[in-house]
């Protein structure tokens, strides 16, 4: 239980850092939609991990 909770937070942080890196390096994602894309990716990863826990 503890490791899955910790791994979910680590994945979420990695998504945010990765999106920020892409934005700063190549302007891959416009600044206006960056938070939306991040939230969508984090929710998708949490749903996937939730499906594997069942």
Q: DSSP 3-state assignment of 42?
A: helix
Structure confidence at residue 29 (pLDDT): 67
Cα–Cα dist 13/30, whole Å: 19
pLDDT interval class at 54 (50, 70, 90): low
CB neighbour class for 2 (10 Å; exposed up to 12, middle 13-18, buried from 19): exposed
Are residues 43 and 13 in contact, defined by beta-carbon separation less than 8 angstroms? Answer: no
Three-state secondary structure string covering 13-39 = HHHHHHHHHHHHHHCCCCCCCHHHHHH
In this predicted model, what pLDDT tens digit does every residue of 1-35 receive, in sequence order?
577 778 878 887 888 788 778 777 777 667 787 78
pTM (global) more than 0.75: no
Query: Span 30-54, mean pLDDT?
Result: 78
């Amino acid at each position: 239980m503890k490791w899955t909770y910790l791994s979910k937070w680590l994945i979420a942080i990695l998504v945010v850092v990765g999106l920020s890196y892409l934005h700063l390096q190549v302007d891959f994602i416009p600044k206006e939609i960056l938070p939306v894309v991040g939230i969508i990716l984090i929710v998708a990863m949490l749903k996937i991990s939730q499906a594997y826990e069942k």
